[in-house]
A and B are shown apart, each in its own frame.
Chain A
Amino acid sequence: MERNMMIAGFGGQGVMTMGKLLAEATSQATDLNVTFFPSYGAAMRGGTSNCYVVISDEPIGAPVSYNLEDLVVMNGPSLRKFLPNLKPGGTLFVNSTIVTEEVERDDIKIVKAPATQMAIDINNPRALNVIMLGVYVGATDAVPEEVIVKGIEHKFQAKPHLIEPNVDAFKMGLELGRQQK
């Protein structure tokens, strides 16, 4: 079974890091096939940055899809630009601190999380992407939670004091995601 997703937001919201963390952690802790494909090239300040992650137990074809199962949007421009690429029945994950507009589709599932505000509340504003990753994993079970915890430990092995706050942020998101499963 193949699961493809896109994460999109402002540059600086940790969109690429979130995708890479999910993909690399999956690569390290499972036997699944996984690809990470970042957007690159001309970009505009205040515009969108995005990446694709595909996870599958079969060999993966294109690492990119315009018929997404899951779409994570961290800002308004991303919602407007990429919502048409979410397939009917797919799941939209919204950073509801930043994205306040109504979602004009009723054929999809919507999971809302005020990730930016939650990150500010725990005095760790940069952790909004890890919170959102928690929400995503909690709502989808795309990979077991231990996979991401191990991934965080690996990513921050050179800065061990950052492991615990990030694992905490991840678990906070996980909880919120599970509630909306």
Chain B
Amino acid sequence: MAERVFMKGTEAIAEAAVRAGCRFFAGYPITPQNEIPEYMARRLPEVGGSFVQGESEVASVNMLYGAASTGIRAMSSSSSCGISLYSEGVSYCASARIPMVYVNVQRGGPGIGAIQPAQQDYLQATKASGNGGFRMIVLAPDSVQECVDMVYEAFDLAERDQNPVLLLTDGVMGTMMEPVVLPEMRSDEELKAFREKFMPRAIVGHPLGQQAFCRPGSVGDGQEQENIKAAAMYETWDKDVRVEEYMMDDAEIVFAAYGISARISRAVLRELRKQGIKAGMIRPITVSPFPYDAFRNLDFDRVKGIIDVEMSIPAQMRWDIDFAVQNRVPVKEVLRSGGQLLTNDQVMNGAMEFIKEVL
């Protein structure tokens, strides 16, 4: 096995992206994701790539649009209020079916929020990252290792679908250091094979009709035809739904959490198990497409309640849980926000209150 190294989440994301073949990065500084562009500024020239610090988020996302439409693997990153400024560009990329990857290292919100970690952008990330009703695969890692594995894979998914992919993480995972095993550097041959399989195109040098569809709209029924194609592609994502069902075989109390909240819930439910409480967890790994079936198929005779743990006030993933659960069991929220970090103890206290009520 490859050696494990001790890395900060943001730097690990950047290195994994380079190893996935990312050769273009544009971004604009914002805490707590600054180490991604900082790392890329140093690292990309070493592998023949290009780094641009844009004059703004709006410029950066449009540079990403341009770079990715040439077929190169391109990425950007920002945090919360910076991501809001990406909305237009991301929507344009989705419209033009451009395979790009971007990372949201979430901080407090709304507005300028707080520079401390939060999970305040769930609904934006999963439901409407821009205008026009497009969808994206949104991956939600719960460790530095998953940050690495997911950003590595995100480029493949983006190219497969010719669609943007979002890595939704937060300031805790971005800032903390953990042991991680880095993937192999993708070879030029591998990347070429990907491009040829999914993107037999380049803007320069190809005759009309074979060139990239890189305009955001079109005349006549062109837009509707494109929307129909995109909708059909979204329908294929049932196979891409990913969920961790942890200790769920006999669970009576079910934690529902993604990202940083999920790893905290996992530690807490292990403690609850030691006290004889049958707790489990459903962790959406893809928050879009959301694993509705994991909730729909719960044994509602056995499950006494769901604890939704989020670093967001008000709760946001709750919408998806409620959509699947339809009031068949009570749902308790354990939330922090505004840069206040969730700890094991706080989740344990919230869980114990609820358990006394429902068990």
**Chain A positions near chain B (C-beta within 8 angstroms):** 2, 20, 23-24, 27-28, 33-38, 40-42, 58-67
Q: Could you tell me if A27 and B32 are in contact, using CB atoms closer than 8 angstroms?
A: no
Residues of B within 8 A of A27 (CB): 4-6, 178-179
Query: Which of the segments B19-27, B202-210, B259-267 contacts the partner chain?
Result: B259-267
Interface on B for A, CB 8 Å cutoff? 4-6, 31-32, 115-116, 172, 175-179, 260, 263-268, 270, 341-345, 347
Are B176 and A63 touching (Cβ within 8 A)? yes
**Most chain A beta-carbon neighbours within 10 Å: one of B6, B116, B172, B270:** B6
Q: How far is the CA of A33 from the CA of B56 in the complex (A)?
A: 38
Q: Are A59 and B175 in touch, CB under 8 angstroms?
A: no
**B115 touching A41 by the CB < 8 A rule?**
yes
Minimal Cβ-Cβ distance residue in B for A56? B267
Which residue on chain A has the smallest CB distance to residue B4? A27
A-chain residues with CB within 8 Å of residue B342 when the two chains form the complex:
62
The reply to whether A36 and B176 contact each other, CB–CB distance below 8 Å, is yes
CB distance B267 to A40 under 8 Å?
no
Q: For the complex, give the distance between the alpha carbons of A27 and B179 in Å.
A: 6
Nearest B residue to A20 via CB reads B177
Question: Cβ of B260: which chain A residues have Cβ within 8 Å of it?
Answer: 62
Enumerate chain B residues within 8 angstroms of A64, measured Cβ to Cβ: 172, 341, 343
Closest 6 CB pairs of A and B: A61-B267, A27-B6, A36-B177, A61-B264, A27-B179, A37-B176
> Are the C-beta atoms of A24 and B177 separated by less than 8 Å?
yes
- A27-B6, A60-B267, A67-B345 given; A40·B32 CB < 8 A: yes
Say whether, besides A27-B4, A27-B6, A41-B31, A59 and B267 are in contact (CB < 8 Å).
Answer: yes
Question: In the complex the two chains form, is B344's CB within 8 Å of A62's CB?
Answer: yes
Residues of A within 8 A of B341 (CB): 62, 64
Say how far A5's CB is from chain B's closest CB, in angstroms. 14
A-B contact pairs, 21 of them (CB 8 A): A23-B6, A24-B6, A27-B4, A27-B6, A34-B6, A34-B178, A35-B176, A36-B176, A59-B263, A59-B267, A61-B267, A61-B268, A62-B267, A62-B341, A62-B342, A62-B343, A65-B343, A65-B345, A66-B343, A66-B345, A67-B343
Chain B neighbourhood of A33, CB < 8 A: 178-179
* Chain B residue contacts of A62, Cβ below 8 A: 172, 260, 263-264, 267, 341-344
Contact (Cβ within 8 A) B344 A65:
yes
Q: Which residues of B contact A59 (CB under 8 A)?
A: 263, 266-267
Closest to B171 in A: A40
Task: Report the Cα distance A91→B12, complex, angstroms.
Answer: 33
Q: Are A37 and B263 in contact (CB-based, < 8 A)?
A: no
Q: Give chain A nearest CB distance to B40 CB in angstroms.
A: 20
Within the assembled complex, what's the spacing in Å between the Cα atoms of A42 and B268? Answer: 31
Q: How far is the CA of A41 from the CA of B4 in the complex (A)?
A: 29
Asked if A23 meets B267 with Cβ closer than 8 Å, knowing A40-B32, A40-B115, A41-B115, the reply is: no
15 extra interface residue pairs, beta carbon distance < 8 Å, beyond A27-B178, A34-B179: A20-B177, A24-B6, A28-B4, A34-B178, A37-B172, A40-B32, A40-B115, A41-B31, A58-B267, A61-B264, A62-B342, A62-B343, A63-B176, A65-B344, A65-B345
Closest CB of chain A to B7's CB: distance in Å? 9
Contacts of A38 in B (CB 8 A): 175
What is the bound-complex CA distance between A41 and B175, given in angstroms? 11
Q: How far is the CB of A61 from chain B (nearest CB, A)?
A: 3
Q: How far is the CB of B199 from chain A (nearest CB, A)?
A: 38
Within the complex, what minimum Cβ distance (angstroms) separates A39 from chain B? 9
Chain B residues, Cβ within 8 Å of A42? 115
Q: Contacts A28-B6, A41-B115, A41-B116 known; A61 to B344 CB distance under 8 Å? A: yes
CB distance from B172 to the nearest CB of A (A): 7
User: Shortest beta-carbon distance, B91 to chain A, in Å?
Assistant: 31
CB distance from B108 to the nearest CB of A (A): 11
**Contact in complex: A40, B31 (CB < 8 Å):** yes
Residues of chain A with a CB closer than 8 A to B31's CB:
40-41
Q: A60 contacts B345, CB within 8 Å?
A: no
Chain B contacts for A37, CB-based, 8 A:
172, 175-177
